Amino acid sequence: MTMEAPRQTYWQIRLNRVKEALQHNNFEAYLAEDPAQAKQVIENEILANLKNVRRVARGDSLSFEGTGMLEVIHNNAAYEWIDPFEAGLADEKSYERGRQALLADLFFTGCNALTESGVLVNLDGWGNRVAGLTFGPRHVIVVAGRNKVVPDLETAMFRIKNYAAPINAIRHKTKTPCAKTASCEDCNSPERICNAWTITEKSFPKGRIQVVLINEDLGI
């Protein structure tokens, strides 16, 4: 037997527990084995049951991009696609679209970390992603790989500040110390990407936030 099968089973068990914890916290939650299955879940189990969805937007998320749903929404004329992160967009235009995204009917995003007790933990530079997660869009779909699951809030915040943020800084070529040291220096840089935290303990209203947990390591 290869290592992959036991690893998959291990994560199925853990992700099932996280799914139950999320449901206890008023989130809808789904499991998928890979991004392709996540796409099917989103199309057949979530979108098929949502009414009056016209304006669709997204926060910056590699996990969401990995599902292929971006192309599905973009190419479907039934949706008005608001994409703050369209390639080649100037910062000013991107920021304006980020504002418009907060009034979308449906908002796709990822998640920096997710605790075993079913709490979503995120940290933003602009705040557009955590804003949309918290209030504005009528429906939110969060896509998260198994690597985002952590035991508790403290570990979540450590992971975000000392792992996800430095990698994001390197990815976006920001002039912040963490891009050089690979750990958080709690900088005062004008390009600091860590400005607004959210700890989403419950979905309000119930079911507004739907989380798709994927049994693969995805995103950062």
Under rule CB under 6 A, residue 103 binds ligand SF4? no
Under rule CB under 6 A, residue 131 binds ligand SF4? no
> Alpha-carbon distance 120 to 110, whole Å?
10
> Alpha-carbon distance 120 to 114, whole Å?
5
Which of 36, 199 has the CB closer to ligand SF4?
199
Under rule CB under 6 A, residue 176 binds ligand SF4? yes
> Alpha-carbon distance 162 to 182, whole Å?
7
Minimum distance from CB of 180 to ligand SF4 (Å)?
9
Residue 179 in contact with residue 166, Cβ under 8 Å? yes
Residue entry with tokens 């699951």: 149
Under rule CB under 6 A, residue 167 binds ligand SF4? no
Nearest residue to ligand SF4, scored by beta-carbon proximity: 178
Under rule CB under 6 A, residue 111 binds ligand SF4? no
Give per-residue burial for 48-73: e unless 16+ CB within 10 Å, then b: eeeeebebbbbbbbebbbbbebbeeb
Among 32, 69, 178, 212, binds ligand SF4 (CB under 6 A): 178
Q: Which stretch binds ligand SF4 (CB under 6 A): 18-26, 32-40, 55-63, 174-182?
A: 174-182
Residue entry with tokens 């969401």: 64
Which of 174, 215 has the CB closer to ligand SF4?
174
Footprint on this chain of ligand SF4 (rule: CB under 6 A): 161, 165-166, 169, 176-178, 184-187, 189, 192-194
